[in-house]
Amino acid sequence: MSNNFTPWERVEISRSSERPTSLDYITAIFDRYMSLHGDRLFGDDKAIVGGLASIAGRPVTVIGQQKGRSTKENIKRNFGMPSPEGYRKSLRLMKQAEKFHRPIILFVDTPGAFCGIEAEEGGVGEAIAKNLFEMSNIKVPILSIMIGEGGSGGALAMAVGNEVWSLENSTYSILSPEGFAAILWKDGNRASEAAKVMKITAQDLKELGIIEQIIEEPEPACLDNIMDISEKMRTMICGFLNKYDQKTQEEIVDERYDRFRKF
């Protein structure tokens, strides 16, 4: 595992447009994938993708926050910042997974929830809060994997898992280092200093017990090495599923509850 990057360098790597997206990992890891759309209330948020998939012959529900690579695609995906309908879509798919006894795999990659006026009018705070509330009691295993940025409540709304993992150069934090520096020191230019203080790297998070596993990146993740990383991730996901096959619904819910209570 490489340890030669500073926390700020890891922040920059996590934001790189070269980094594989949720759909890249879904395509590489799962045998089949059928996307589902819409929240059945308002619309279909392109910043959240999800649907039915299979891995090693077993069905799962997979959901991810989706960024774009080009400017045009990023505008379509709202730069990976979900709106209320995105979180409601993700919850709809998770409740469907619970109904049909499918484990849930979540890929987290967002600077944070969309904070525009439309999102506030649509009840983004309520949508995130409802995800947290409902996910805490879902009776199937939930695995959340940080693949890029794990920013603010926008990330936490998809990270109430039985386990949370992170790629080696991903981050997970209450807000951006720039925002932290602006609030604490009234100087957004001290973001690199803030990144160190905030303990947002995978290594820091593992030491603090915030995440269970670090997925190694021999080189920063990109499309050239996605198959190597995905193969390891696939093996780890299968291990997670086999582990939770042995547990009852009550044990799954209780363990998730206990995991978050310890904080």
Average pLDDT score over residue span 25-38 = 94
Closest CA to 11 of 252, 201, 208: 201
Residue with tokens 């269970």: 212
Let me know how long the chain is: 263
Between CA 87 and CA 106 the distance in angstroms is 12
216-226 tens-digit pLDDT: 998 899 999 99
Q: pLDDT grade, residue 3 (50/70/90)?
A: low
3-state secondary structure of 178: helix
Give me the long-range contacts of 255-262 (CB less than 8 A, separation at least 24).
Answer: 255/162, 256/136, 256/142, 256/160, 256/161, 256/162, 257/136, 259/162, 260/136, 260/160, 262/209
Between CA 253 and CA 142 the distance in angstroms is 10
Nearby residues of 22 by Cβ (< 8 Å), 6 or more positions away = 49, 64, 65, 66, 107, 109, 147
Predicted TM-score of the model (pTM):
0.94
Fold of 7-261: 2-enoyl-CoA Hydratase; Chain A, domain 1 (3.90.226)
Average pLDDT score over residue span 174-194 = 92
- Residue 131: per-residue pLDDT: 96
Q: Is pLDDT above 60 for 76?
A: yes
Between CA 129 and CA 91 the distance in angstroms is 11
Report phi then psi at 202, rounded to 5: -60, -40
111-132 tens-digit pLDDT: 988 888 988 888 899 999 999 9
